[in-house]
Amino acid sequence: MSTFFDYLIFPGFLFSAVFGMLAVYIDRKVSARVQWRKGPPLLQPVYDFVKLLGKEISVPEQTSVFTFLSAPVFGLAAITLVSVIVWNAMLVPGKTFIGDLIVVIYLLAIPSIAVIIGGFASNNPIASIGASREMKLILSYEIPFILSILTVIIKTGSIRMGDIVTYQLANPAVITSASGIIAFIVAILCIQAKLCLTPFDIPEAEQEIIAGPAVEYSGTPLAIFKLTKWIMLFVLPSFLVALFMPSADFLYNLLKFAGVLVIIILIKNTNPRLRIDQAVKFFWTYGAGLSLIAVILALIGL
C-alpha cells in the first residue's frame, strides 16, 4: 500500500501532475506579463488537458501503432519515477537506495528519447526534423549535465541522493562553494535544453516546424506528452534543489523550487532561439568547459 501511495499519489503521479500544472501556469502568467498580456486563468492547464482527452486519436498510416502510442507513456512513467526518487530524498533521506542518482540520470533521458521515437515513428518529415534536432540536442547537453552532477558527487562523496541531501543538511550547501555555483549555472542551462525552452526550443520551433516531433499526435497521446513536459517543469528544478541546496523543511524546498523556476522563466523570456549548430557548439565549448572547471575546483576542495 505504501508503494502504491508513493508512486500514484505522493510524491508520485498526482503530486507531480498538480505541481507541474501549477508550474506551467506560473510560466504562462509570467511570460504574459513580460509581454504586457493578462495571461491564462489558474485552471487553464487542466482545461487544456481535459479537452485533449476528449479529442479523437489519429494514427498515421504505415507506422507502428504500438511504438507511436506507447512513446508518450514511457516518457510520463519515467518522469513520475524521478519525482518519487527526488522528493523521497528530500523528505525521507533514509528511504533512498544506493546509486539512485545514476538511475535518475538515466530516467531523465527517457522523456527526450520518447519524443525522438514518437517523432520518427510518425513518418512525418516535419516530425523527423524535430526528432533529429532533439537527438542532436541530447548529445550536446548530456555531458555538461553529467559533469555538473559529478561536481556534487565529489563535494558530498556519494551517489545516493539521500546521502547528498543529508550531507548538506549537516554542512554548507554545495551551491555556497565556487565549484557549486559554476555547476549550478551549467545545470540550469542544461535543464533549459531538456525542457526545450528558449533559447533551446529548437526541436519544437513553432515558427519553423509547427509542433516538431508531436505534429502528428492528437487526443490522449498528445495530452500525455504535454503532461510529461509540465511535470518535467516541476521535477527538474526540484532535482536541482535536491542536489545543490536541499532543506529539511518541505515548504522551504517548494520555495527554492519556485526560485529556480523563476530563473528558468526569465531565461526563456529574455533570449532568442539558437540554431541547432549554435546550441551544440555552446554546450560542447562553454558548457563542457565550465563544468570541467567546476569538477577541478571540487577536486581541490573549492
Query: Where would I find the beta strands (DSSP E) of 125-231?
Result: none
Host domain of residue 126:
2-299
Confidence of residue 194 (pLDDT cuts 50, 70, 90): very high
> What residue type is assigned to position 159 of the chain?
I
Q: What share of the chain is helix, strand, coil (3-state, %, to 5)?
A: 75, 0, 25
Given a cut of 80, whether residue 210 has pLDDT beyond it is: no
pLDDT in tens, 113-141: 999 998 888 888 888 888 898 999 999 99
157: exposed, middle or buried (Cβ count in 10 Å: 0-12, 13-18, 19+)? exposed
- What does the block give as the cell for 218? 492528437
In this predicted structure, what is the pLDDT of residue 285? Answer: 93
Q: How many residues does the chain have?
A: 302
Confirm if 244 and 152 have CB atoms less than 8 A apart.
yes
230-243 pLDDT, tens digit each? 999 999 999 999 99
Q: What is the dihedral of CA 211, 281, 265, 156, to 10 degrees?
A: 120
Give the H or E element holding residue 185: helix 178-194
pLDDT band at 178 (very low <50, low <70, confident <90, very high): very high
Total count of domains within the chain: 1
| pLDDT exceeds cutoff 70 at 1 | no
pTM for the structure as a whole: 0.93
| Contact assessment for residue 29 and residue 40, using Cβ atoms and an 8 Å cutoff | yes
